[in-house]
Structure 1
Amino acid sequence: NFDKPRFDKPREGGAERPRFSRPREDRPQGDRPRGDRAFADRPQRERPKFDRPREGGSSWQEHPRSESPGERPRRDNEDDSKVFAKRPAFGGRGEYRERKPEFEKRAARPPREKKSGERIAKVLSRAGLASRRDAEEWVVQGRVSVNGRVINSPALDVTENDAITIDGKPLPPRERTRLFMYHKPRGLMTTHADPEGRPTVFDNLPEGLPRLISIGRLDFNTEGLLLLTNDGGLARALELPDTGWLRRYRVRAHGEVTQGQLDALKKGVEIDGVKYGPIDATLERDQGANVWLVFAIREGKNREVRNVMAHLGLEVNRLIRISYGPFQLGELPEGEVEEVKTRVLREQLGEKIAELAGADFNRPMPGDAGGKSDAKS
């Protein structure tokens, strides 16, 4: 047990701490000094009085409350014309200002003038010389001149009045928008010039065709339908996934797969960080150690079919594109080209895609007399 601390220091004056013989509860209540009573317990007569007069010698009774409830009391020196004068101490709202009867509106901005020209790369692409991307590279390389001046930036708008040359040769006039179907064989690159020297599609086209560019690409070992056009705007429009054209392939692959695995691709799939959109795949038949499938996609990303097949454990050994939108490979012989009639092309594109592509079906065909269409129109 610990002893309570003791205070041995004597109180000042030698007096001891007072002790009470009776408990606190037994003491009479009247022993408490009168000055300690609460203010509310005092009799009315004992409440302090404030005899000091108000400043100015007036009291609030001199200004009785107004009889009308909506009117505030007025000061003796208050001017009716300055009722709304700003009084910060009283939360005034500031001096009243009359509003003009007619509000002055800000003058509308004049509409922006539409550009009269088009980007240089777009013009080169529409002429069927190259894709827009390749045309931009030509500009950067200094191969393009406008009005006798070499340009090195594709951020330039030109009009029909500008004289454009590529490698010193004048830009050919724009022709009518045309579309060709080509049955691409295996072993050809879809490019105008391959840096490795491999054979290209355009080196193996039949003679007599205008300068064409491809709509999309097919891999070196992929065969089937490849669309070609003389209009870069059309090529760009049909390559966009937003156009919504379905691309169908027949696939022969080594391995085994079930229809259930293929149905799961309808929700899309992500492979090595690359997201592929919905794929409609159907199992056709088994052929020994191989299976035949039909793939339908809308995006057409690089090596999409082969990458998805490898994801399912299959190795593609033959890939044939059989359709691109409404255009079918059909019985077109390998290596042959067939032009789509202008009337059919216009109907299949529709107004929306034709406007997006900037297609022109009214220009004369090369060799036409008087600008009339030939039998293919």
Structure 2
Amino acid sequence: MREGNTTRLAKALAQAGISSRRKAEEMIIQGLVMVNGQVVKELGTIINPDIDTITVGGNPIKAEKRIYLLLNKPAGFISSVKDTHGRKTVLDLIPDVKERIFPVGRLDYDSRGLLLLTNDGEFANLITHPRYEISKEYEVWCKGRISDDAIMKLEKGIILDGEVTAPARVRLLRHTSAKSLVSIQIREGRKHQVKRMMESVGFPVFELKRVKLAFLELNGLPEGRFRHLTSREVELLMKQAWGKIS
């Protein structure tokens, strides 16, 4: 068994930004990939990117440095790598990062708050897939004085697309006769979920901000600015996703 920083060959190619993992597997099968001067066609091949020399079409590849960023997204930016309508994306807020990063999940164009970006696909899956139950907390302004009955319904679960949402944690932070500021914490990530949940109980949202993801908070980070996650934060997020910490 090989020791050290070992990984599957297809994964190493994907991490180097050569292609998706599926496309990398196709290139391996086609005999386009060499390891230490030898053509490799076995999909299960294990390599050590710190030691082994990998080439694709004769060109050496090197895995990208893993990047994990926390952005305080302003309204007016698309949570995407590019936009077909020419609108600004969150990558426009991070011009000096050379790695090919992408948003982890999404915040709507008119929404604000905490958004992670990375070039680590497995990390992104751990954060976004519902099975890992990573909590996300939002503060939303809705029309009207939200009722106790509406809060109870949100906490028990709302039927969306024929399925009941997981129980949410809901708190009324403050209100006037015309609007309410509500904190809502969920562990799912359905499209427009918070807005649709609030709409379903009769209190449509006109402003949404994500303030927390797992244990991560904005902590005074200005809108439009970002910071790198620490290695400890990345480690704790991954452990939490796997249920190794409470």
TM-score bin (small chain): 0.7 to 0.9
The residue number in structure 2 matching 1:135 is 20
Question: Within 2, Cα distance between the matches of 1:190 and 1:171?
Answer: 29
Structure 2 spans left out of the alignment, 5+ residues? 1-5, 34-42, 48-52
Q: What code does the residue aligned with 1:163 have? A: T
Distance change (3 Å), C-alpha of 1:172 and 1:331: same
Structure number with the bigger relative contact order (C-alpha 8 A, sep ≥ 6) is: 2
Q: TM-score, structure 1 length as denominator?
A: 0.51
The answer on whether the counterparts of 1:249 and 1:319 sit within 8 Å (CA) in structure 2 is: yes
| Match status 1:234 vs 2:123 | yes
**What are the equivalent positions in structure 2 for 1:174-185 lying under 5 Å apart?**
174-175=64-65, 177-185=66-74
The residue number in structure 2 matching 1:267 is 156
- The count of aligned residue pairs is 223
Residue 332 of structure 1 aligns to a residue in which SS? coil
The answer on whether the counterparts of 2:136 and 2:213 sit within 8 Å (CA) in structure 1 is: yes
Question: Within 1, Cα distance between the matches of 2:86 and 2:240?
Answer: 41
The Cα of 1:341 is off from its aligned counterpart by 1.7
Question: Within 1, Cα distance between the matches of 2:241 and 2:169?
Answer: 26
Distance change (3 Å), C-alpha of 1:289 and 1:164: farther
**What are the equivalent positions in structure 2 for 1:1-377 lying under 5 Å apart?**
118=8, 120=10, 122-123=11-12, 125-127=14-16, 129=17, 135=20, 139=23, 145-146=27-28, 148=32, 160=47, 163-164=55-56, 171-175=61-65, 177-350=66-239, 353=242
Identity value in percent:
27
Deviations 1:82-120 (A, max 9, x none): xxxxxxxxxxxxxxxxxxxxxxxxxxxxxxxxxx97484
Question: Within 2, Cα distance between the matches of 1:266 and 1:342?
Answer: 34
Question: Within 1, Cα distance between the matches of 2:197 and 2:9?
Answer: 37
The answer on whether the counterparts of 1:222 and 1:319 sit within 8 Å (CA) in structure 2 is: yes
Distance change (3 Å), C-alpha of 1:294 and 1:198: same
The Cα of 1:275 is off from its aligned counterpart by 3.0
Higher strand share: 2
The answer on whether the counterparts of 1:257 and 1:312 sit within 8 Å (CA) in structure 2 is: no
Residue 238 of structure 2 aligns to a residue in which SS? helix
The answer on whether the counterparts of 2:141 and 2:205 sit within 8 Å (CA) in structure 1 is: yes
Which has the greater radius of gyration? 1
Q: What code does the residue aligned with 1:281 have? A: V
Deviations 1:126-166 (A, max 9, x none): 34x49xxx9369x49xxx855548xxxxxx6665465347x
